[in-house]
Structure formats: structure tokens, C-alpha cells
Amino acid sequence: MKALAIAGANIRRMVRDRSSFFFVFVLPLLLVLVLGAVYGGLSRPRLGIVAGDGPLAQSLVSGLESDGSIEVTPYADVDKMVLAVERGELEGGLDLPEDFDEQVQQHVEIGFTARDLQEQFELRTVIDRVVAQQNAVLRAAGFASTQGVASYSDAVATAQAEQANVERIDVETQSVGQPYSFTQGGRFDLGAQSQLVLFIFLTSLTGSAALIQSRTYGVSRRMLATPTRMGTILVGEALGRFGVAMVQGLFIIAGTWILFRVDWGDPLATGLLLVVFCLVGAGAAMVTGSLFRNVAQASGIGVLLGLGLAALGGCMVPLQVFEIFAPTMYHVAHITPHAWALEAFSKIVQLHDGVWSIVPDLAVLMGYAIVLLGAATWLLRRSLTRV
Amino acid sequence: MRNAMLIAGKDLRRRLRDRSAYIVGIIAPLGLAAIFSFVFNPISNSSYSGTFGVVNDDGGQIAAMFVDQVLGGLADSQTGVTIVSVDSEADARNRVEAAGDPSLNATNGLSAAFVIPPGFSNAVQAGQRTTLEVIGSPVNSTSAAIATAVAEGFADEVSAVNLEVRTYVVSGGVVDPSTVSDAVAYPSPITVGDLPAETRRLDDTTTMTVGMAIMFLFFVAQEGVIGLLEERRDGTLARLLVAPISKASILGGKAIASYVLGIASMAVLVVASTLLLHAHWGNPVGVAILVLAAVFAAVGIMAVVSGFARTDEQANTYTAIVAIALAIFGGSFFPISLGGGVVQFLSKFTPHAWFIQGLGDLASGKIAAVVPSALVLVAIGVASSALAVVVVRKVVDQ
């Protein structure tokens, strides 16, 4: 009963503090929103294009514009376009010479630049496709006129008319195998799961400052002076940390579900996972709270560990990407509790598995919680009586 | 001035003794940059390699041209690309699927495969419709895209030659044995070449280091006014005010402490990240200009924000919120250029975005390239410092 009172006081302190309000409630949703905007909507590469107003140049431009897989922005000035590519405001740029229509009767080179290999490849595929169509007509016209059977302009008209009669090799693409889980799901889903795991742990670590405040304000000493056993105080503090983590976790789940329609899967499985992960967070908070002497130190290290472990654990780069590109990193990631929680979430949400499928992950997380809470009990017993 | 220096010196000694300056100013940003580059680098550095299978069920002349010239040419021109012959379509399908599942650890997996159907060569030579099949898997989507692009390129080439011959015939030309080979040899009028561009981007490790450095700079830059609020809480401010020291000296001392801490921590970060993480900040003069301008802006903004607080704790709260929010929208965590539209517009209001853009421009090699970004940072610094003087005076007067 006394333990619950101590926990309650801790949670009230958090809810009333304006900074906690921002970090616990506002920031996670803000990040889910920004990440969704930055990464979720990323699909079509942006191509800048400088072209004269000749009909052939313009037909190349409209060919690119009508291709649905890229976004074309016209530029008047090559230098401005190149600067935009250099700064990453465009994925690539295409420069057609002013006298494209005249040069094309012989040979014309158009300039292309892109930011990196991946984008270069994506844009180049589209450009090659559109250029190939125009090339086919102009090449046929050039060939016929150099063979002396027609004038260039007549040959262009003939080639354009004949283009529809040429049978093409159809390229059929077949896909085999399962898409990876991170390619499925809603725009905000993956962001929301990673944020949930990241923030519960981060807030727990930075929130450990509350334990230090309890010591420096003398709350701990006064509690010890009352007829309350040390064990009760420790359970109360742990419950407080756990409660703070739960409040934030439930808020993120509810908030993202209502605002962004994020799918959280089976409520029982998600609920169990949340409870166990919050226990891990509470344990980590108690350990940091007892190891550091002042608030500035604890929050500095808290941010470092909170973001660092999250990055290692797959909150910033999906674990499946590690698995494909860097298998060692994939194993390293599983040192962190984050990776186990994210694996469990991908089973619940992406694969729609029930609570039984995540039992191994829950067991590992429970192990973390027991070790951390055990260590914290021993450390805090010493530090609470220290000033 | 001497009094200001004394006050600054005392504040600096205090910050160094309680070790928080090291943690917030150096260890946290450096540690995070190290972890982030450790996490992100294996992915961005992985170079492409792919094994493409080809099932030749046709065996004709055109099929041989595709396998030998097109695919052979791809393997010769691209390092990491291997072409292997596969017996049947079913086998190719299984091997592409096996490569797409990392848990199988398949040794003979294929990134993607081509299937040339029977009768392909005859159909192409007769000008009839035919197909070329590409098998890919979602996991190796890049390979599937490359394979599709190669097949489409070949289809385009065949269509182009067909159109050449047709146009020639319709225009009254007479086909003789050399016509087709002449048509194949006739060059495409439009070719795609390179447009020279400088790199105005930082490499991944440097991007992360720069992002973390500028974010934590704001935590370091808040020291001055928070120190003032601490003095007020502890009652030492009242003692300073009755001593023969002008208010300007007190405020000046606090400001100097903030500038020195900011510049020192940034300097250590630049050197340490260059040595330990192999970050490339760029020309030292350009970096120095941007760092000084950024410190000026950061100290100004943080002074205004903490000047509105009544206690040092409240100030810590306000500054943390502002520092994190600016860092998110300014591009400390992810490249703002990806966001487009609204996100990019919002980023222009953060010093972070200008600092990062300035360093990106500096990567082009010209020191003068930092001037626009540095000027914006200085302007932010001047405006916020002017406001800070008004706001912080109240803290002293109360």
C-alpha cells in the first residue's frame, strides 16, 4: 500500500512537470509524424530538367512527365538545377542543349547527373525508356535519309507512322517469394513501433533523474526516517518508474492508433509485450538513477544510451535491413532489449501471429527485467542512504 | 571587463568540475555519432553484387546475341555482376526464391533470372510478337529492376532496328543482305552523358557527427543564463549585485562562459571526430567560420528561451524542448532534403539546417561557399542576442 503511494507520487510528479509533458506525450507523436512525412511518403524520385522549346525537346520532356514513376520539375537555368541536385533537393537533373532539335539530326548528347548510385539507377531507367522511344523514330529517320531513300523530315513522318506497326518484345516480370515485413504495413506502422520502443526506454533513462532529485531534495532520507521498510521504498520507486513507462506506452499506442490509424495487432499480445518492456525500462531507470550523482550527468548519459541502444537495436534502421546487408549487426542488435521487442512486434503486427508466437521474445525481455531490477535493488539500497 | 572575465572563469571551472560539460558537450554527441555511423554505414557502404541466371530454351541466333553480347557485356562492364546458365525455368524460379530468404543460406541462389522462351529468335526475325521473361524477388528488388531494365533495353534495341528497316522499305528502299547489319550499326542520335556536378554533400559519418554536434551545442550554449538563474536561487546573485560590479559585467561574464564552452566543445568534437570516426568536416577556415556563427546563434536563442524561465529547472525544461524540436526540424536526425515541401520550409527557420547546409556547401572545396549560411547564422545570432539582452535584464532586476 505504501509502495503504491510512492509510485503514485512519482507518476503525479511526471504528469505535472511541463518538460515531461513535452517529452512523454508531444515528442513521440511529433516524430512519428515527421518520420512518416520524411520516409513514408518517399516514393517518386525528383528529376529537374532544362530544355529548349523545340518540338522534339518538348516531346522528350512530356514523355518524362507522363511517366508515373518520377516527378519532373522544369528549370530555366542549368546552374540552379545542378545546385539543387548537389544539395539534395532533387534526386537528379537532365540538361538538353538549347539547339537539341537541330543537333538531333546528327547526334546529340544530353547531360545527366544524380546524387547517388541508387537514385542514378532509378532515374536512368526511366530516362533510358523515354529516350529509347524517341531514339527509335529518329534513328530510323536518320538511317533512311543516309541510305538516300527519303529526306530527313519525310523519313521522320514515315517512322512515326510505322512505329505502331512494329511488334515489340514484351518483357514479363514475375515475382517469387514473400515480401519482407518492413515493406508491408501502413506508412506510419514501422515508425510507430520503433518510436514506442525507443521512447519507453529513453524516457525511462532520462526519467531516472527523478530518483536523483528524490535523493538531493531529501525525499529519500525522510522516507527512510518513517516506519517504512527499505524494501517497500524500493518497490515503490520501481513501480513509479514502471507506471511512468506504462503511461507513455499506452499514450503512444492510443495516440498513433487514433491519429494515424496505426495497426497494433492482437491487444493481448501487444499488452503483454508493453508490460514486459516497461519492466525492462523501469529496471534500466533504477540502475542509471543509482549510478549517477547529478541530474545533468544522468540526462546526458540517458540521452546517449537511450538513442544509442535504440539505433543499435533496430529502431532507426529496420532489423530486416541489418539481416540482409550486415548479418553481424543483426546479431549485435540482439544484445539490446529493443531488438527483441521489435521482433515481437513484427510477429504480432506484420505477420498477425497471436500471443504464443512471441513467448520466446517475452522470456528474453523478462530476463532483462529481472537482471536489471535485481541489480537496481542492490545498487539503490546503497545509494539511497548516501547523500 | 576584468570582472566579466572573473565571473566567466568561475562558471567555466564549475562546469568542468561537475563533469556535466564533458558529458553533454563531448561524450554524448561523439558517442551517438559513433553508434549511428556504426549502424548506418554497413548499409550505405554495401556495394552491389548480383548473380543473374539465364534459361535459354530457344538456342537461336537472337537468343545467343542477348546472352553473349547484352548479358556478357553487362558482366564485363559491371564489377560484381555474374551470369550463370540455368537448365530450366523451374530451377531458376527455385533458386531466385531461395536467394530471397536469408534464413536458408542458399549457396546457389540467384539475384534474378532471365527466361528466353522457345521460338524467340524466329519470332524476332519474322517481326512477330514474343516475350522475354524476368524472374525476381521482392527482397532483391534492385537486381530485379536491373534485370528488367536490361531486358527492356534489349527489346528497345530490337524494336528500333525493326523500325529502321520498315521505314527504309516503306520509303522505297530495297533490302539487301547488308541492310540489317547496317541498321544495327547505325548509332542512336540521342545519348545520355554526364553533367558535371560538385559534391555538396557530406559523407554519412560526417552528416551524423555534424547533426549530433549542432544538437548538443544547444545544450552547452544554455549554460550562461541557467548559471544566472542558479546564482539567483542560491542567493549569490544578490551578493554580486551589491558588489562594485556593473550589471553589464555580470551578463557579459555569463555570455563569455557560454561562448567559450560552446566553441571549446565544438573544437574538441571536430578534432576528435576527425581522428576517431574519420569524419570529414572540410576546410578548417570554413569550418571555423561556421562554428563561430553557429555558437553565436545558439547562445542567443538559448538565452532568450531560458530568459523566460523563472527558475533554473524551468529553464532546463524550456531549453531542452527547444533544442530537441529545432534538432528534429533542422535535420540533426535525418536528411531534411528527403522531406520536401513543408518539412523543408520549416527547416529554414532552424540554425541547424543552415549549419548543415553550410558544411555541405563547403564540401565543394570553396571557403566562400560558406558565406551565405554563415550570414544567416550571424543574423539569427544578432536578432536573438538583442532580444536576449532585453529578456535577461529582467532576470537580474527581479
- Written as one string, the DSSP assignment of B114-155 is EEE-TTHHHHHHTT--EEEEEEE-STTHHHHHHHHHHHHHHH
For strand A46-50 and strand A92-95, is the pairing parallel, antiparallel, or unpaired?
Answer: parallel
Domain presence at residue B303: yes
In the listed set B159, B185, B211, which residue is the last one of a domain according to the structure? B185
CATH number at residue B129: 3.40.1710
Kindly report the length of chain A.
Answer: 387
- Residue B192 inside a domain? The answer is no
How many domains in chain B?
2
* Concatenated DSSP letters of A270-305: HHHHHHHHHHHHHHHHHHHHHH-SSHHHHHHHHHHH
Residue A50 three-state SS = strand
Contact A295, A212 (CB under 8 A): yes
The minimal CB distance from A173 to the residues B148, B189, B343 is found for: B148
A286 closest CA partner among A248, A226, A340, A235? A235
Per the DSSP assignment, residues forming a β-bridge with A110 are B192
Q: Is the pLDDT of residue A386 over 70?
A: no
CA B30 and chain centroid, separation: 18
On whether both A152 and A232 belong to a single domain, the answer is no
DSSP annotation of A351: S
Residues B172 and B37 in one domain: no
A368 in any annotated domain: yes
Contacts of B299 (CB under 8 A, 6+ apart): B221, B224, B255, B258, B259, B262, B381, B385
DSSP string, B33-60: HHHHHHHHHHHHHPPP-EEEEEEES--S
Mutate to test the interface with B, among A44, A126, A173 (most CBs of B within 10 A): A173
Between A and B, how many CB-CB pairs are < 8 A?
322
Cβ atoms A312, A335 nearer than 8 A: yes
Look at chain A and report how many structural domains it folds into. 2
* Residues of chain B contacting A163 with CB distance shorter than 8 Å: 163
Indicate whether B282 and B375 sit together in one domain.
Answer: yes
| Res. A121: pLDDT tops 50 | yes
Residues A221, A119 share a domain: no
Domain boundary pick from A128, A162, A196: A162
Distance from C-alpha of A207 to C-alpha of A20, rounded to nearest angstrom? 8
CB-based contact B360:B223 (threshold 8 Å): no
B203 or B371: which leads in pLDDT:
B371
Which of B32, B183, B190 lies at the smallest CB-CB distance from A308?
B32
Query: Are B296 and B167 contained in the same domain?
Result: no
Q: Are residues B340 and B248 in the same domain?
A: yes
Distances (CA, A) of B361 to A46, B205, B269, B351: 21, 17, 20, 15
Kindly state whether residues A204 and A67 are assigned to the same domain.
Answer: no
Does B39 lie in the same domain as B59? Answer: no
Residue A57 and residue A11 share a domain: no
Among the candidates B122, B152, B185, a domain finishes at B185
What's the pLDDT at B301? 94
Indicate whether B181 and B212 sit together in one domain: no
* pLDDT value at residue B263: 94
A168 domain-assigned: no
Confidence of residue B118 (pLDDT cuts 50, 70, 90): very high
Residue B260: alpha-carbon gap to chain centroid: 30
B135, B113 in Cβ contact below 8 A?
A: yes
Would the ipTM clear 0.95, i.e. be above it? no
- C-alpha cell, A69: 514513376
In this structure, the answer to whether residues A211 and A156 fall within a common structural domain is no
Assess whether B294 and B343 both reside in one domain.
yes
Classify residue B269 by its DSSP letter.
H
The grid cell for A324 is: 540482409
B24-72 per-position pLDDT tens digit: 888 888 888 888 877 776 656 556 778 899 999 998 888 998 998 888 8
Asked if A94 and A32 sit in the same domain, the reply is no
Min Cα–Cα distance to chain A from B221, Å = 14
- Do residues B176 and B207 share a domain? no
B-chain residues near A107 (CB < 8 A): 187, 189, 191
Check A108 against B316: CB less than 8 A apart. no
Of B292, B339, B331, nearest to B207 by C-alpha is B331
Write the single-letter amino acid at A150: A
A181 — pLDDT class (breaks 50, 70, 90): very low
What pLDDT does residue B44 have? Answer: 60
Q: Which residues of chain B have a CB within 8 Å of the CB of A169?
A: 124, 129-132, 151, 154-155, 158-159
Average pLDDT over residues B308-322: 80
Residue B291 lies in a domain: yes
Q: Given an 8 Å threshold on Cβ–Cβ distance, is A110 in contact with B186?
A: no
What separation in angstroms does the CA of B103 have from each of A324, B97, B106, B137?
Answer: 10, 12, 8, 15
The CB density around residue A107, as the number of other CB atoms within 10 Å, is 12
* Arithmetic mean of pLDDT, B301-326: 84
**Could you tell me if residue B151 is inside a domain?**
yes
Q: Contact B138/A135, CB-based, under 8 Å?
A: no
The residue that leads in pLDDT, B330 or B43, is B330
The per-residue pLDDT for A346 is 84
> Which CATH number does the domain housing residue A87 bear?
3.40.1710.10
CA distance B243 to chain A (A): 30
Domain boundary among B185, B214, B245: B185
Give residue A95's Cα distance to chain centre. 33
What is the band of A183 on the pLDDT scale with cuts at 50, 70, 90? very low
Residue A188's pLDDT is 59
* Confidence band of B339 (pLDDT split at 50, 70, 90): low
Q: How far is B201 from chain A (nearest CA, A)?
A: 7
Which parts of A96-185 are beta strand (E)?
108-114, 169-175
Residue of B nearest to A126 (CA): B149
Q: Which domain holds residue A77?
A: 43-162
Chain B residues in contact with A115 (beta carbon < 8 A): 201
Residue A71, SS3 per DSSP:
strand
In angstroms, the CA B19 to CA A295 distance is 11
Question: Which residues of chain A does B200 touch, with a Cβ-Cβ cutoff of 8 Å?
Answer: 83, 86-87
- The residue-averaged pLDDT of B208-213 equals 90
d(CA B72, nearest CA chain A) in Å: 19
| Residues A303 and A253 placed together within one structural domain of the fold | yes
- HSE of B376, CA atoms in CB hemisphere, 13 A: 16
Q: Who has greater pLDDT, A240 or B102?
A: A240
Select from B20, B135, B338 the Cβ nearest to the Cβ of A296: B20
Residue A51 DSSP code: -
- CA B282-B287-B288 angle, to 5 degrees, is 145
For residue B19, which residues of chain A lie inside 8 Å, CB to CB?
A: 297
Domain that holds residue B91: 47-185
Contact criterion met (CB below 8 Å) for B255 and B348: no
B34 is written with which cell numbers?
559513433
Identify the three-state secondary structure at position B383: helix
- Candidates A14, A38, A69, A325, partner chain B, best to mutate (most B CBs within 10 A): A38
Select the residue from B195, B217, B321, B354 to test the A interface by mutation, using most A Cβ atoms within 10 A: B195
Q: Cβ A177–B100 below 8 Å, yes or no?
A: yes
- A140 and B134 within 8 Å at the Cβ level: the answer is no
State how far Cα B124 lies from the chain centre.
Answer: 46
Is B193 a domain residue? no
Residues B94 and B30 in one domain: no
Q: Residues A12, A199, A372, A224: what is their CA dihedral angle, to the nearest 10 degrees? A: -20
Question: By CA distance, what is B37's nearest residue in A?
Answer: A311
pLDDT at A278: 95
B190 inside domain: no
Q: Which of A39, A167, A327 is the closest to B128 by Cβ?
A: A167
Question: Which residues make Cβ contacts (< 8 Å) with residue A252, sequence separation at least 6?
Answer: A28, A29, A192, A195, A196, A199
Chain A nearest C-alpha distance from B170 (Å): 8
pLDDT per residue over A203-239, tens digit each? 888 878 778 877 777 777 788 788 878 788 888 888 9
From A32, which residue of chain B is nearest by alpha-carbon distance?
B328
Residue A213: inside a domain, yes or no?
Answer: yes
Residues A256 and A188: beta-carbon distance below 8 Å: yes
Mark whether A131 and A237 lie in a shared domain.
no
From A320's Cα to the closest Cα of chain B, the distance in A is: 10
Cβ within 8 Å, pair A301-B23: yes
Q: Are residues B158 and B220 in the same domain?
A: no
C-alpha A272 chain-centroid distance: 24
Which single residue is written with the C-alpha cell 537461336? B60
Q: What is the pTM of this model?
A: 0.74
Nearest CA in chain B to A136: B160
Domain assignment of residue B328, yes or no: yes
Rounded CA-CA distance B331/B353 in Å is 6
Q: Note whether residue B298 is domain-resident.
A: yes
**Which among B124, B139, B163 is the nearest to A140, CB-wise?**
B163
**Bridge-partner residues for B6, per DSSP?**
none
CA–CA separation, A204 and A3 (whole Å): 19
Using the 8-state DSSP alphabet, how is residue A179 labeled? P
Residue-level pLDDT at B141: 78
Environment class of residue B390 by beta-carbon count within 10 Å: exposed (0-12), middle (13-18) or buried (19+)?
exposed
- Cβ separation A38–B162 shorter than 8 A: no
Residue A152 contacts by C-beta under 8 Å, 6 or more apart in sequence?
A105, A141, A142, A145
Q: What percentage of chain A exceeds 90 in pLDDT?
A: 18
- A103 with A239, same domain? no
A166 closest CB neighbour out of B19, B162, B364: B162
Q: What is the mean pLDDT of chain A?
A: 83
Q: Tens of pLDDT along B143-197?
A: 888 899 889 989 998 889 989 988 998 888 888 878 888 888 888 889 888 887 7
Asked if residue A328 and residue A259 are part of one domain, the reply reads: yes
- Contact state of B189 with A105 under an 8 Å Cβ cutoff: yes
Together in a domain, B179 and B105? yes
Q: How far apart are CA B108 and CA B51, in angstroms?
A: 9
Is residue B283 classed as helix, strand or coil in its secondary structure?
coil
Model pLDDT for residues A290-318, shown as the tens digit of each residue: 888 777 777 778 888 888 898 888 887 77
Shared domain check, B293 and B221 = yes
User: Residue B260 has which C-alpha cell?
Assistant: 567559450
